[in-house]
Chain A
Amino acid sequence: MSRKQPEPVQIVQQRRDEALEALVEGVPYIQFLGIRFDRRGDELTGVLPFDDKLIGNPILPALHGGVTAAFLEVTAIVVLSWSIAWERMENGHRAVDDWRGGHLPRIPKTIDFTTDYLRTGLPRDAYARARVNRSGRRYASVQVEAWQDNHARPFAQGTGHFVMPKRDG
């Protein structure tokens, strides 16, 4: 009996990139803020390029606190959705094929979200990473941190709880 050949790398890459695209590009609010996600394997980094429309205090100037909270929450939701999609893909589900057919990915719903403002958000690009601390059948708990020039000096961190989407097969 011959061992199953691993899939060609570009096929795997393309499937993963398309899955991520489906999660991010279909959401108007993510596009409005200009957030995109860099992927290394299963690890995602949210990137929020600076834009004047993100300013909350024009005198300092500083990012709007709501933008910071939104960036953290978007990152938490995308990373959580991605972890669900990743598991499905690894188990042989072709999640993306469903999504292309018009069935948009079901998104976890936020129960609550707390943002800690550690430092003023500067008028620069910002980055965020999330860690799914618990992901059960019904609920999930996710932690996020965001930084700008220096990863060791985060400007905000957040924790959120989410209701998981119902599994579709």
Chain B
Amino acid sequence: MTELTPDMRAKMARQFMQAIPHSHQLAMVLTSLENGSAEIKMPYDKKLVGDPSTGVIHGGAVSALMDSCCGAAVMSHPAAPGGTATIDLRIDYMRAATPGQSLTARAECYHITRSVAFVRATTYDDDLEHPVATATGAFTVEQAGTDGPKL
């Protein structure tokens, strides 16, 4: 197999996100993907505001970002699952994301079995010392060649 150049990787990452309509809607960009780890950025957008009196982004949009990032981390694991679906995802909201700042989620698939992938993720805004939210989740592991998750 030929080694992927950084350009090819970046192109694949862009195409991966654009193929997912909802992630594309939220303008998510996959900024890193390797060996069971993923990083996705999501720009601030007024349409994602959950509290109009403060301009803070809705928790649901943070959920969508973390779910995507966790799924990408599972797919990039060297055990190479053919597909994955979320079994459960718990999100802890530490603080409100600062209005106007983009969000970055980092996820790591820290253990994988033949049937389950265990993942944790953290979301930051510009302040890297204080996370906005963390997540832990379990994901299905589909064998390559099946046509998708059968939960």
Q: How far is the CA of A57 from the CA of B22 in the complex (A)?
A: 9
Q: Is A13 an interface residue (CB 8 A)?
A: no
Q: Is A12 an interface residue (CB 8 A)?
A: no
Q: Interface residue count for A (Cβ, 8 Å)?
A: 43
Q: Which of A28, A67, A77, A110 contacts B46 (CB 8 A)?
A: A28
Contact: B71 with A26, CB < 8 Å? no
Contact: B60 with A29, CB < 8 Å? yes
Q: Range of interface residues on chain B?
A: 35 or more
Residues in A neighbouring B59, C-beta threshold 8 A: 70, 73, 110, 113
Q: Which of B64, B88, B90, B92 contacts A66 (CB 8 A)?
A: B64
Known contacts A64-B23, A67-B64, A69-B64; A112 and B92 CB within 8 A of each other: yes
Contact: A113 with B90, CB < 8 Å? yes
Q: Is B101 an interface residue (CB 8 A)?
A: no
> Residues 83-110 of chain B: 1 if any A CB is under 8 Å from the residue's CB, otherwise 0?
0011111111100100000000000000
Known contacts A28-B46, A28-B52; A111 and B148 CB within 8 A of each other: no
Contact: A65 with B67, CB < 8 Å? yes
In chain A between 1 and 35, which residues have their CB closer than 8 angstroms to a CB of chain B? 26-33
Residues in B neighbouring A26, C-beta threshold 8 A: 52
Residues in B neighbouring A55, C-beta threshold 8 A: 20-22
In chain B between 110 and 150, which residues have their CB closer than 8 angstroms to a CB of chain A? 147-149
In chain B between 52 and 76, which residues have their CB closer than 8 angstroms to a CB of chain A? 52-53, 57-61, 63-68, 71
> Residues 36-63 of chain A: 1 if any B CB is under 8 Å from the residue's CB, otherwise 0?
0000000000000000111111111010
Q: How far is the CA of A30 from the CA of B50 in the complex (A)?
A: 8
A25's nearest neighbour on chain B, judged by CB, is: B52
Q: Is A85 an interface residue (CB 8 A)?
A: no
A46 to chain B, nearest CB (A): 12
Residues in A neighbouring B85, C-beta threshold 8 A: 62, 65, 117, 120
Residues in A neighbouring B57, C-beta threshold 8 A: 29
11 contacts between A and B (CB under 8 A): A27-B49, A29-B61, A54-B21, A56-B21, A64-B21, A65-B71, A66-B68, A70-B63, A71-B60, A109-B96, A114-B91
Interface of A toward B, CB cutoff 8 Å: 26-33, 52-60, 62, 64-67, 69-71, 73-74, 77, 104, 106-107, 109-120
- A-B pairs, top 6 by smallest CB distance, nearest first, are A66-B64, A70-B60, A64-B22, A29-B58, A69-B63, A114-B90
Interface of B toward A, CB cutoff 8 Å: 19-23, 25, 46-53, 57-61, 63-68, 71, 85-93, 96, 147-149, 151
